[in-house]
Amino acid sequence: MSISSRIFKLFFLFFGVFLIAAAPVHSDPVLDGLIDEALKNSPEIKASEARIEAARLRIPQAGSLPDPMLMAGYQNEGFDRYTYGEMQGSQWMFSATQQFLFPGKRRLKEEMTERDAESLEAMHELLKLKTVARVKELYFDIFLAHKNIDLLKDKRELIVRIEGLTLERYAAGKAMQQDVIMAQTEKYMLLEKEEMLKQKILSLEAMLSAAIGRHRGSALPKPLEPVYQPFSMDINAAVDMAMQHSPELKSRNKMIEAANTRLAMAQKEYYPDFALGGTYYNRARDFPDMWAATVTINIPVYFQSKQKPAVMEAKANISQANQELDATRLMIEAALRDNYSMLRSSEKLMDIYQKGLLLKSRQDIEQALTGYSTGSGEAVNIISRLKTLLDYESLYWGQRVEREKAIARLHAIATGLRDGGEKK
């Protein structure tokens, strides 16, 4: 077999592997399993669930009456002896007092804590969405590292073969020693890059294990190629979807409702609370027992330094909550547009690589291989062109992964979207 036919055979074998790897995959049970595991075992999600449970348990506490007060005492006449039964004023006393809040206060206290709990529940949904997006991003990064290793291995195999050919030509006096050194140097550089990518995979797998809440479980499986699906939703429609369904906005709205309830509660504090009490006086012998009933009312005479500032504080908190809601809307829209632009930019770059740079680079390599097989070229030219081609392939897959990561972030921000960008 001639040198030219051997190189062309290796060349098309190499790109055949690339084309097979680019074939579409219709499902990814590996990623689905990791997402399910994260939603079940993530320490952050579990902590959020416990926080919500604690908030829910505060609701009945807030609406409960203050604890009743019981009193037992003794009244004696004189200091020289125990006069119970001898003196009319000597008696045992027993009383009970129950404080009642002004009508409407207990309901407002319950409503405040309920709104706080609902805000936490909305943030819990946001946390789950962000966890899913985080798992997807790490998963795609690990896939990209594995893909780059595969590309490097394919390239190294071809470089080893070219190294053998340069050695044959050098022995026959048809190539310079520089060609051999260049091929060998490139081979070791590829080994270096491969080891660096392996270390990166270990680091990413550690972060993914932390995200899914796995301590010392089974090894993480090798990621499958992400399924390419068109994202057809317009950015303005995605923004509208986010404004309607974003858990973060829902949480902010609940905060505003809680702030309004606190204002109503602060205004209610102008009205007095009251306490009902009853006392029983036990006396001995011929002295009859007595009883008494009391009503106690607190008078908010210090409203200028207490209730009035509290109302002003509540109004300031409402203003703050509204401003934070507006800031969150702007932040969400900016994040959506940023990731949407990343998505479209990645698609354009992928198209440039597929239809332009990769195609032209392959044609360039074919010409270089033809020239080298006839003795009119140098190995350094072929190696340089192969390096350029592999760089473009790596960039192509990098943009493919960036596109999938951008879609994952869009799903986390604009809930209610399917993978293709349609409404659920």
Query: Domain range holding 277?
Result: 67-100+271-305
Domain stop point among 305, 327, 359: 305
pLDDT for residue 24: 40
291 and 265 share one domain: no
Better pLDDT: 296 or 381: 296
Strands of the sheet with 274-282, listed across from one edge? 69-75, 91-100, 274-282, 290-297
CATH number of the domain where residue 406 is located: 1.20.1600.10
Please, how many CA atoms are within 13 Å of residue 410, restricted to the half-sphere of its CB? 33
Whether residue 138 is predicted with pLDDT greater than 50 in this model: the reply is yes
pLDDT tens profile 243-283: 998 999 999 999 999 999 999 999 999 999 999 999 999 99
Answer whether 0.85 is exceeded by the pTM: no
Whether residue 206 is predicted with pLDDT greater than 80 in this model: the reply is yes
214 and 95 share one domain: no
pLDDT tens profile 12-71: 444 443 433 343 434 688 999 999 999 999 999 999 999 999 999 999 999 999 999 999
Share of the chain above pLDDT 70, in %: 85
Better pLDDT: 267 or 379: 267
pLDDT for residue 189: 84
- Is the separation of the CB atoms in 109 and 265 below 8 Å? yes
- Is the separation of the CB atoms in 146 and 201 below 8 Å? yes
Q: Pairing state of beta strands 274-282 and 290-297?
A: antiparallel
421: DSSP letter = S
203 and 113 share one domain: yes
Specify if 328 maps to a domain: yes
Q: What is the mean pLDDT of residues 147-175?
A: 75
| Alpha-carbon gap, residue 197 to 154, rounded angstroms | 15
170 and 300 share one domain: no
Burial 331-361 (b: 16+ CB within 10 A, else e): ebbebbeebbebbeebbebbeebeeebbeeb
- As for how many domains the chain has, the answer is 2
Q: What is the mean pLDDT of residues 206-226?
A: 86
- Is the separation of the CB atoms in 276 and 100 below 8 Å? yes
Domain stop point among 284, 305, 326: 305
- Is the separation of the CB atoms in 101 and 273 below 8 Å? yes
Specify if 390 maps to a domain: yes
The pLDDT mean for the chain works out to 85
Q: Is 277 left (phi over 0), alpha (psi -120 to 50) or beta?
A: beta
296 and 324 share one domain: no
Whether residue 326 is predicted with pLDDT greater than 60 in this model: the reply is yes
Which residues, 6 or more positions from 275, have their beta carbon under 8 angstroms from its beta carbon? 97, 98, 99, 100, 294, 295, 296, 297
Specify if 420 maps to a domain: no
